[in-house]
Amino acid sequence: MKKQIAKSFVLILLLSFGAGTARADEITDWVQFLYQAAVVVPATSPVVMTRNAAIMQASVFDAVNGIEDRYTPIHVQPNAPPGASRRAAAVQAAYASLVRLYPAQQADLDAKRAVSLAGISSGDAAENSVSIKRGIQWGQTVADAIWTWRSTDGFTPAPPPFLGGSAVGQWRPTPPAFASGAVPQFATMTPWVIQSHGQFRPAGPPALTSARYAADFNETKLMGSLTSSVRTADQTLYSRFWNASTSNFFFNQVAVALAEARHFTFSEESRLLAALDVSMADAAIGCWDAKYTFVFWRPVTAIPLAATDGNAATTADPLWVPLLATPSHPEYTSGHSCVSGAAGRVLATFFGDDTAFSVTSDSPTMVGVTRSFTSFTAALEEIKNARVFAGIHFRSACDDGNVLGIGVADYVLGNALLPVHGKRVGQLTD
């Protein structure tokens, strides 16, 4: 699936969002600051990252849009004071969100805010102090409103530990950590745009006695084993690559690079990133709804216990170990496939599916590794394979998760952030 890097490809620089390019602006700066904050120990988990990124990008978008009134808002109606600075509003909205999400990093965020605001008030693009002050006030107002709204979305307080069950086919804590199910509250959280957490719930995993389950089982058993002799070196590499960071990091860097290459304006950029991260957040909610509805067992449990599944086409291997450590939540559907499916759909809608791009990781274990593709569809196929070949998912969970994410993205793009003056999604003009 990996493609050779062609001259026309958009090359995303390692560990940065367009660092060193001439078109960096306050929005892209604060995207970078978000992911710098997220990797500070303890690092933000991939599923919680979907919520954090959406909080910040929704705040930035509603702040910018509240000044321009170009699109339907995510939550805050346009009501900025006259002459408010878009740039200052974006900085303050992003800063105010991150201080609440990462309060231990306030000193660092304060310093970054000071640098951002100094850049707005000086140089060739300097803005006057009254405009900046009004922009800061409006950005804070929007961030406060978004934070208040999402503070009652069900993320806190955390529910009691989820331990699944011991029935055949049922998820239970998995080795090596044997941890309780991660963030089960995501299964019932208030969505951002979709109508309910179960709106895109799939039909469920294949019956244990079915031919489809046997095919899924045997593929993961063969390809996902730590000692697999048929998995190629590249398949092993990309399984580790896509597991080393969050979907939000991967696809936000792609969005920033493509927006720069296509010369997106400030407002177009804020809308793209909000559509991307809100879609990913709702896809995570839909995915977790499926996980904690079906509570399906992981390969690391299913393969040693295959003698109990009632399927003559599966054979137990009590010593089977996956390539990668299994995440601590039910198997169906695949979180990466859901969230990446939504991201890929949003970016394909904005830029066209047959858009070539490259992507790197922010993980120290993946320094120098670049994955390159000729389409978003190709990337999503590799991500699905990566979860199976890592030994942590069955194929149905990845296929159905991808469909869920795409459905969520289509709904978000059709019902939110809509042009208010008759422009279509593909006609983003300033």
pLDDT digit string (tens) for 345-395? Answer: 999 999 999 999 999 999 999 999 999 999 999 999 999 999 999 999 999
End-to-end CA distance of the chain: 36
What pLDDT, in 10s, does the model give residues 285-321? 999 999 999 999 999 999 999 999 999 999 999 999 9
Q: Looking at the predicted structure, is the pLDDT value of residue 422 above 80? A: no
Per residue in 61-81, pLDDT (tens digit) is: 999 999 999 999 999 999 999
Listed by start position, the domains of the chain span 26-415
Distance of alpha carbon 376 from alpha carbon 355, whole angstroms: 7
For 179, the token pair is: 């941890």
Task: Give dist(CA 52, CA 46) in Å, integer.
Answer: 10
Dmax of the chain from CA atoms? 75
Distances (CA, A) of 297 to 161, 174, 183, 310: 17, 9, 17, 15
Can you tell me the distance from the alpha carbon of 224 to that of 247, in angstroms, rounded to the nearest whole number?
A: 21
Q: How far apart are CA 194 and CA 282, in angstroms?
A: 7
Report CA dihedral (2, 8, 12, 18) to the nearest 10 degrees: -170
pLDDT at 24 over 80: no
Residue 127 pLDDT level (bands cut at 50, 70, 90): confident
Q: Please give the CATH topology (third level) of the domain spanning 26-415.
A: Vanadium-containing Chloroperoxidase; domain 2 (1.10.606)
Cα–Cα nearest to 217, from 297, 279, 274: 297
Q: Whole-number mean pLDDT of the chain?
A: 93
Total residues found in the chain within this entry: 430
What integer pLDDT is reported at residue 124 of this predicted model? 76
pLDDT band of residue 421 (cuts 50, 70, 90) is confident
Q: Which residue has the higher pLDDT, 430 or 198?
A: 198
Region 264-279 average pLDDT: 97
SS3 state of residue 17: coil
Single pTM value for the model: 0.93
Give the three-state DSSP class for 293: helix
Q: Distance between CA atoms of 370 and 199, rounded to whole angstroms?
A: 35
Q: Check residue 15 and give its pLDDT.
A: 37
pLDDT above 70 covers a percentage of the chain that reads: 93
- DSSP for 331-400, written as a single string: SSS-HHHHHHHHHHHHHHHHH-TT--EEE--S-GGGTT--EEESSHHHHHHHHHHHHHHTTS--HHHHHH
